Amino acid sequence: MTKGVDEVRAEIPFLQTGIIYLDSAATTPTPRPVIDAMLEYFHEFSANVGRGLHCATKMATEAFEATREKIAKIIHAKPKEIAYTKNTTEAINIIAQGLKWRKNDKIITTILEHHSNLLPWQRLKQKGIELEVIKPLTKECLIDPATVEATIDAKTRLIAIHHVSNAVGSIQPVEEIGKIARDNGIIFLIDAAQSVGHMPVDVRKLKCDFLAAPGHKGLLGPQGTGFLYAREDRWNELEPLLVGGGIVKDVDILHHELVDPPQLFDAGTPNIPGIIGLGRACEYVAEIGIERIAKRERMLTRRILKILDIENVEVYGPRHVNRRGGVISFNVKGLNPHDVASMLDELKRIAVRSGHHCAQPTMRYLGVQGTVRASVHYFNTEDEVDKFVTTIEQIAGEFG
């Protein structure tokens, strides 16, 4: 039996404070079953993983490793294709620092990226890597696959693009871009920070070589968790970001032999309770149903987009709900986005984000310093988003 909205809301302690939480693009509140899974670790088997023969460490290791399978089910991958990270940023940096680059290799990305999918590539320019940043054709912020294809040349080694924009919500045609990359023998990386857990994601259909995602957003997991998917035959192209304890087969004074992926990327003591919590979060999202989550978010987004009809309000990104995720970015003319966010909080306890959203090139492309960003998840209600729209109408009418 799938979980209904009321049941999910009742299981999220933070929502009992009365807050109207429209900031899931930044992080989501944690359901009690996920909290309980972490507490069980602390109470019942609070030991390190893979480094002992006693029962507590065996239980911890089993629960820790089981999360790979739970993540894999969400994105239609294999458990051995999942490496744990502390966030999407770390996952992308593993690729940027771990691939064996050749001088004059080219990377293609877009002006719409989160800084975490831009700065790691910029840093590679120090190694003689060329970075080409493409722009969308319209202010709807949708990348045309033909533009990507036209940018490819013999030097192109990697294409890195987001699935859903954290800044404006546009859903990129990643499946088409993945086919272009595969047909040209180019590595394809997807930043799925705003899609995994919010909508169906199938790495086979997307034809991606790597996919990076956090645990604390769509998946309703704890902060400080995330993962990197790597197609099974791509692991041997990556060096680990960190080396040290927990990933060795043998070490002598001048040489070492390391374990195989994905455990190769687990150097040091990992975030054991967090990863266990992430595993339970994947189960929790599956219990709701990814399709149900996506359908509900589209409905909520459609209701929020009524702000398009409010005078003095400018909305950024796609107008059609099927072309965007549950992220709505806008401004009230004449008002600073931070002031609008503060008013929403003070008037109705509505939590939204304001600023450049770690996407300053996107903001400059739009011709603004920043925006107000509302973002939804399955647990939001129709009444909450309607109250948000009404409050924006009030703010725009009185101050815009």
CATH number where 353 lies: 3.90.1150.10
Q: Mark whether 233 and 294 lie in a shared domain.
A: no
Q: Mark whether 216 and 110 lie in a shared domain.
A: yes
Q: How far apart are alpha carbons 32 and 23 in whole angstroms?
A: 19
Q: Mark whether 256 and 137 lie in a shared domain.
A: yes
Q: What is the pLDDT of residues 116-141, one digit of tens each?
A: 999 999 999 999 999 999 999 898 99
Q: Mark whether 25 and 77 lie in a shared domain.
A: no
Set 141, 208, 282, 358: catalytic member? 358
Q: Mark whether 252 and 326 lie in a shared domain.
A: no
Q: Mark whether 59 and 184 lie in a shared domain.
A: yes
Q: Mark whether 198 and 302 lie in a shared domain.
A: no
Give yes or no for a contact between 304 and 324, defined as CB atoms under 8 angstroms apart.
Answer: no
**1: pLDDT strictly greater than 70:** no
**72: pLDDT strictly greater than 70:** yes
User: What's the domain count of the chain?
Assistant: 2
Q: How far apart are alpha carbons 278 and 280 in whole angstroms?
A: 5
- Within the chain, where are the H helices? 5-10, 32-44, 55-75, 88-98, 119-123, 145-151, 174-183, 203-206, 272-288, 290-304, 337-348, 360-366, 382-399
Angle, in degrees to the nearest 10, between helices 55-75 and 32-44: 160
**200: pLDDT strictly greater than 70:** yes
Q: How far apart are alpha carbons 332 and 336 in whole angstroms?
A: 8
**400: pLDDT strictly greater than 90:** no
Place 53 in a pLDDT band, splitting at 50, 70 and 90.
Answer: confident
Task: Say whether 358 is catalytic.
Answer: yes
Q: Mark whether 376 and 249 lie in a shared domain.
A: no
Q: Mark whether 222 and 298 lie in a shared domain.
A: no
Q: What is the pLDDT of residues 94-108, one digit of tens each?
A: 999 999 999 999 999
Q: Tell me the residue range of the domain where 238 lies.
A: 34-287
Last residue of some domain: 234, 269, 287? Answer: 287
Q: Mark whether 111 and 171 lie in a shared domain.
A: yes
Average pLDDT over residues 190-208: 98
Q: Mark whether 272 and 360 lie in a shared domain.
A: no
Last residue of some domain: 233, 259, 287? Answer: 287
Q: What is the pLDDT of residues 135-188, one digit of tens each?
A: 998 989 999 999 999 999 999 999 999 999 999 999 999 999 999 999 999 999
Last residue of some domain: 271, 287, 303? Answer: 287
Q: Mark whether 10 and 50 lie in a shared domain.
A: no
CATH number where 151 lies: 3.40.640.10
Q: How far apart are alpha carbons 178 and 243 in whole angstroms?
A: 31
